Structure 1
Amino acid sequence: MAIVIIRQDGKIPLWQRALKKVAPQVPVYSYLEPHPKEEITMALVWKHPKGQLMDYPNLKCIACSGAGVDFIFQDENRPKELPITRVVDTMLAQDMSEHVVAVIFSYLKHLGHYRIAQTRKIWRPMQYHRIKDFKVGILGLGVLGSVLAKDLVRFGFRVQGWSNSKKSLGHVKSFAGQEQLYQFLQTTEILVCLLPLTDNTTGILNAALFKQLPRGAYLINVARGGHVIDADLIEYLDNDHLSGACLDVFHEEPLPADHPFWEHDRIHMTPHYASVSDTESVVPQILENFRRLQMGEPLLNVVSKERGY
């Protein structure tokens, strides 16, 4: 039994070293090097080439090295009968929360505007905002959303969240289901998207949703680029219904040089780096699942194929 790492971002050696450091006895291969494909029982993947997983006749588990698994479901040529696992990591959630909190405070104090003004040598003070001035709404109250909600409450923000089912988080108002989405949006002045990308959530950040937000609302998307209809976002920024947006994720990454987001004054971008899986934090749960796979025990953090997360 062995592990193969399949990813296209140049980080295979990093993950190989991390796995071998903790479990030197476990065979770990890069899919790019010659390796015994019949021995592979676990594929550790991140945005793998579609169809690549069919090369392993004895594969028993597809292990995602991050929290999001949408790219696996987008691979129609994968072994669909195999279990899929994902990473559930407190460090990952805390990193995401810190990023979003930083973005919100930057928005409150107009730091992005001042940075642009500096490049243009414009001295123009603006009235700043305070924590009490905005209600933050979080789309998605899973592991990441729950940590963010609790952190925002500690700072003194008024926080509400929307998810498929009601959540019980101290001082966080919970909305659930399609019937409560409009009510949630109506009172959300800073909207943070932390939804998984599924058939039901693809394109959810669109004109119909933006229209339901209060005029002047601000959007933060740190989930997946597939949640946003790009043209709709630009339209609602240009007509002043949205005051701005901070985006960490995009339909195509890296973002093409000719994409209009690059030149838009009301869009602040980061290169899909709000929260990145830390190998030292994640490797133990990957290896625990590999052990369970060997012993025939139930796996940790198995993805629901019906829900897509």
Structure 2
Amino acid sequence: MTTNILFAANSERWSVYEPHLRHALDSQKIDYTLGTDMPKDQVDYIIYGPGLSEIEDFSAFPRLRAVLNLWAGVENIVKNPTLTVPLARMVDEEGLTQGMVEWVTGHTLRHHLGMDAHIVNPDHEWNHVAPPLAAQRPVTILGLGELGMACARSLRQLGFPVTGWSRRQRSIAGVTCYSGPDQFHRALDGAQIVVLLLPLTPDTENTLDAHAIGRLAPGAVVLNPGRGPLIDDGALLAALDSGRLSHATLDTFRIEPLPAGHPFWAHDKVTVTPHIASETRPASASRVIADNIRRGITGKPLQHLVDRDAGY
């Protein structure tokens, strides 16, 4: 029986994804039809791009078996009351995870080594001060999902003392792991670099507020490749202005693209990157999607299913 797959994102994405999806589906030997427009009563699976799709009422698809999210974040769809079929988020070690590891590792090393002072040195100052070794630079990662665990392992391999915090208890070799609200501030205490990789839920909004910032080491650095609302922007700016924090490198924001007049653009202690830390790569993401569709067709459990109660 033919499996009908609706690609629900914009036409620009379709032109990029179509050849990769067809190659991945063919490789799985799936009998399928794939397109951006088909009768709603014939759709079996929806490949969904949050913010790119016009679909709001999933109850209009009576044959729908699952929705396969193109991104790791699901906050824009998970609470949709019409979505009663399984929802799978994108977990792609080859693409998304590797991209996040490279961004987090690169910017951690940038701040650890003090690279900015060497790259921009208009006065040609010979400031012969070596940075500490990684073992002397404690790093805390907030959020130990697939992305957070991978980043923790990468930084630990480089010699950084890594502490992680998550809602559920995790165990990662060489990493100090805390969990639950009672241990949150223990994970922050004395951190010189903090990385935010939590999912966005009502419970995680403004996780990094003035109180949390106060637990970090003086002059700490904040890296946020997770979600913009994880940070209290006002508290962050106040801490940067006072010197409590020395820098913030931000990849995600409450409003995207970041408005031209936003204080982050002009602040000399803020680096803005345009939501590039962990982009979905069409080739590897298509393989993840095709594998999940094959699993659904053959009666196997889908991978990377979202916990609706937890919100991720």
Q: With structure 1 as the length reference, what TM-score do the two structures score? A: 0.89
The answer to whether 1:63 aligns with 2:68 is: yes
Equivalent residue number for residue 11 of structure 1: 13
TM superposition shift of 1:72: 1.4
SS at match of 1:232: helix
Equivalent residue number for residue 105 of structure 2: 101
TM superposition shift of 1:64: 0.7
Q: Deviations over 1:97-156 (max 9, x none)?
A: 1111110111123223444x45xx343455342323310111111211111111111111
Equivalent residue number for residue 186 of structure 2: 183
Unaligned segments of structure 1, at least 5 residues: none
Q: Is the 8 A contact 1:137 1:192 kept in 2?
A: yes
TM superposition shift of 1:195: 0.9
SS at match of 2:110: helix
Which of 267, 286, 292 is 1:289 aligned to?
Answer: 292
Q: Deviations over 1:249-307 (max 9, x none)?
A: 11121111111111111111211111122222222221222233344442221110011
Matched AA of 2:230:
H
Distance 1:180 1:144 in 2: 21
Equivalent residue number for residue 129 of structure 1: 131
Equivalent residue number for residue 217 of structure 1: 220
The answer to whether 1:197 aligns with 2:200 is: yes
Matched AA of 2:104:
V
Matched AA of 1:123:
H
Q: Deviations over 1:60-115 (max 9, x none)?
A: 312111222112136x4x52312110122222222211111110111123223444
Matched AA of 1:89:
D
Alignment of 1:147-296 (within 5 A): 147-296=150-299
Q: Is the 8 A contact 1:261 1:267 kept in 2?
A: yes
Backbone CA RMSD of aligned residues: 2.1
Matched AA of 2:99:
D
Percent same amino acid among aligned pairs?
31
Q: Is the 8 A contact 2:101 2:147 kept in 1?
A: yes
Q: Structure 1's 165 and 141: CA in aligned 2 closer, same or farther, altered over 3 A?
A: same
Q: Is the 8 A contact 1:221 1:248 kept in 2?
A: yes
SS at match of 1:138: strand
Distance 1:9 1:206 in 2: 39
Distance 2:9 2:236 in 1: 31
Q: Structure 1's 12 and 128: CA in aligned 2 closer, same or farther, altered over 3 A?
A: farther
TM superposition shift of 1:8: 4.5
Q: Structure 1's 133 and 295: CA in aligned 2 closer, same or farther, altered over 3 A?
A: closer
Distance 1:26 1:93 in 2: 28
Q: Deviations over 1:216-253 (max 9, x none)?
A: 11100111112112122111110111111111111121
Larger mean CA deviation between 59-68 and 213-222 belongs to 59-68
Equivalent residue number for residue 300 of structure 1: 303
TM superposition shift of 1:7: 2.7
Distance 2:10 2:136 in 1: 43
Distance 1:180 1:293 in 2: 39
TM superposition shift of 1:49: 5.4
SS at match of 1:72: coil
Distance 1:54 1:159 in 2: 43
Q: Structure 1's 26 and 125: CA in aligned 2 closer, same or farther, altered over 3 A?
A: farther
Q: Is the 8 A contact 2:8 2:53 kept in 1?
A: no
Distance 1:198 1:50 in 2: 21
Unaligned segments of structure 2, at least 5 residues: none
Alignment of 1:40-55 (within 5 A): 40-48=43-51, 52-54=55-57
Q: Is the 8 A contact 2:46 2:67 kept in 1?
A: yes
Q: Structure 1's 124 and 261: CA in aligned 2 closer, same or farther, altered over 3 A?
A: farther
Q: Is the 8 A contact 2:139 2:163 kept in 1?
A: yes
